[in-house]
Amino acid sequence: MYHPRLEVAVPATALAALRAVSPPTTGTLLAHDVAVSDKERDVLTALCSGYLRPFPHRDPRPATYQQIAVRLGEPWTRVTTRKQIERFRERLARGGLYFDGPHANNELDDYLLANRVIGAEDLARLAGTTTTR
């Protein structure tokens, strides 16, 4: 019985491009992979501030954009704090970590605290820091 054979020649450049692809990952962005600027740290700390306060002052909800702006003071506004947090979430999304929907900030808070990106020491630092945009 005759079995036809098909041969395919792949150019070396195409093979090299296939080898250049990074190995698959779990999609989990680890805390040490997250670079946080001082400005972002201030906004994220203010967002998580209710979680970071000790009992009986603890509030297990993220701060509103207006509350963050009031806490940080001039020149921060509700809009600038929202934009800063959105840009941070977009950067995480480029790394494969998504926080979308009506509970995005709750989930972001949980991620930041569980992975120790933000902590109580940041809240203490924020209390003594004047921030700028």
The pLDDT tens digits along the chain (133 residues) read: 777 887 878 888 876 766 654 444 444 444 446 788 889 999 999 999 988 888 888 888 899 999 999 999 999 999 999 999 999 999 999 888 899 888 999 999 999 988 888 888 888 888 775 444 4
Q: Which of 88, 46, 79 is nearest to 63 (CA)?
A: 46
- How many helices and strands, by DSSP H and E, does the chain display? 6, 0
pLDDT the model gives residue 29: 46
DSSP states of 65-120 as a string? HHHHHHHH-TT--HHHHHHHHHHHHHHHHHTT----STTHHHHHHHHHHHTTSS-H
pLDDT the model gives residue 131: 44
Q: Which of 36, 88, 38, 45 is nearest to 68 (CA)?
A: 45
pLDDT the model gives residue 119: 86
pLDDT the model gives residue 127: 77
